[in-house]
């Protein structure tokens, strides 16, 4: 898993921890596939799914400020 340094440049520690928490499946530790979708100007829908388990682990929306 390489992109830690990349996240350090763009994100706060809190955001970084959040991203790391999201990056791997809790069941099998496979890297999750993250997808982002703009719902509208202010909201982004995020879904994370595990290609191994074929489960969707997260689907939430973020408000963009």
Q: Which residues bind Zn ion (CB under 5 A)?
A: 25, 27-28, 30, 50, 52-53
Nearer to Zn ion, 25 or 48 (CB): 25
Distance, C-alpha 26 to centroid of its chain: 13
Is the CB of 23 or the CB of 53 nearer to Zn ion? 53
Q: List, in order, residues 6 or more apart from 23 with CB less than 8 Å away.
A: 1, 31, 32
Q: How far is the CB of 28 from Zn ion (least distance, A)?
A: 4
Closest approach of Zn ion to the CB of residue 24, in Å: 8
Residue 58 forms beta bridges with which residues?
48
Beta bridge partners of 43: 63
């Amino acid at each position: 898993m390489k992109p830690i340094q990349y996240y350090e440049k763009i994100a706060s520690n809190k955001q970084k921890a959040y991203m790391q928490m999201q990056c791997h499946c809790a069941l099998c530790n496979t890297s999750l596939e993250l997808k982002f979708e703009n719902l509208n100007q202010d909201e982004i829908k995020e879904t994370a799914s595990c290609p191994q388990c074929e489960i969707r682990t997260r689907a939430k929306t973020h408000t963009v400020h």
